[in-house]
Amino acid sequence: MSIYKISARFLCLLLAFVILVPTTGCGFIDIDKRFFVVAIAIDKSGNEKKPYRVTIRLSIPSSKTEPGMEKSQIETIDAKEISEGLRILKSHVDKEIDLGHCKVFVLGDELARDDITSATEWMIRRRDIQSSAFVAVGYPDGMSILKKMPLSERYSGNTLFLTFGSDGTKSSFIRPEKLFDLFRRINENGMDPYLPLIRVSKNGYEVDQLNLLDKKRIRLLLSPDETQLFNQIDKETINSTFKTTYKDNSVMLAVTDLRVQYKIQRLPDGRGKLSMHIHIGGTIEEGPSDILSLHSEEVERKLGQDVEKNTIKLLKRIQRAGVDPLHFGLRYRATHKSSTAFEEWQELYPTLQFDVHSTVRIQSAGRIH
């Protein structure tokens, strides 16, 4: 056999060895030796030396998936850094902690009112954390949210996943926020972040309020009605409601069509003006039985007046808080090609005038038998 044939055979064997060696290493860990983290809470501990309290909720697989049969393990620790706390928690369990399935991050209310910068940067830097994970604020703290085990939960963390995802409830009072959008809002000029508020209830969670933040901390908490109106203005949320009173009767309009248009202009005196028009169409869910045949125009006018009044009130309240979650500043930057457009917007926004008009059309009075 010639030396060339021997060299060729040797090179083939060497190449096969190089390809196979990485697949036989010790980096792979069997699934039965992993703990899957489904939610993480980050709170302030009150300890200056160890300021962060990190809580993780670990899913324990079960052969039964009936409501109330889910099993979870809660681990918590105080640490100087979030990453340090997570590494120490690994010594508290007998399996490798896997963050790849973590879909919810809950920041404690006290932390969110102080500074969320470090927590957010840690989340976005970790390569094993999904950018599509949901982020929220827990009241009174994140740990109490993770410790709650709702009776209807089929598997660990499922209640929170369905609350914020599109597969479960669809409520006009819920405004989910994902990690990638939170990070974008923190770093983009002309828009500010928001985070939904989670409270523990008797059988699960209440999520019907929204925190508005500047780039670092909470500045304003919206009421449930304000949260719904915020969603209607920003996302044109249908399957929502507008309400008013007419001749001492409550009238509830179920929205089936909603369009919001606005423009921002600079007035001759140097001040800014935001003109908004809201077009609403819907059906009457609650009200007098003769409302459509006798009073439809009057009720439409009354609904329109209340929508205009409540919208201006909400916009001014957000303005006084010094935040811009509706990204008006981003619209101003996009429609003004000046290199100093954002600086101009910062001067305009504190004294910005709001001019809101609405058109309401009652399409039917529902089904009356």
172-210 in b/e form (b: 16+ CB < 10 A) is bbbbebbbebbbebbebebbbbbbbbbbbeeebbebbbb
Residue 215 sits at the vertex; the CA angle it makes with 309 and 196, to the nearest 5 degrees, is 60
For residue 39, the model assigns a pLDDT of: 95
Percent of the chain with pLDDT over 90: 65
Provide the whole-model pTM. 0.88
State how far the Cα of 230 lies from the Cα of 260, in Å rounded to an integer: 12
Indicate if the pLDDT at residue 152 is higher than 60: yes
For 287-368, where are the E strands, in sequence order?
Answer: 353-364
Mean pLDDT of 43-52: 95
Mean pLDDT of the chain: 88
Residue 241 sits at φ, ψ, to 5 deg, of: -140, 155
Q: Work out the average pLDDT over 113-118.
A: 96
Question: What type of residue sits at position 136?
Answer: A
179-187 and 117-125 helices, crossing angle to 10°:
120
Residue 34 has pLDDT above 60, yes or no: yes
Residue pLDDT, tens place only, 271-307: 899 999 999 999 988 877 777 666 788 889 999 999 9
Is the Cβ–Cβ distance between 136 and 197 less than 8 Å? yes
Biggest CA–CA distance in the chain, Å, is 107
Query: Of 1-15, 290-304, 333-347, where does the model show the most confidence?
Result: 333-347
Burial category of 286 from C-beta neighbours within 10 Å (exposed 0-12, middle 13-18, buried 19 and up): middle
Q: What is the spatial distance between Cα 266 and Cα 273, in angstroms, rounded to a whole number?
A: 6
CA distance 208 to 228: 8
Asked if residue 22 has pLDDT above 80, the reply is no
Give CA 74 to chain center in angstroms: 23
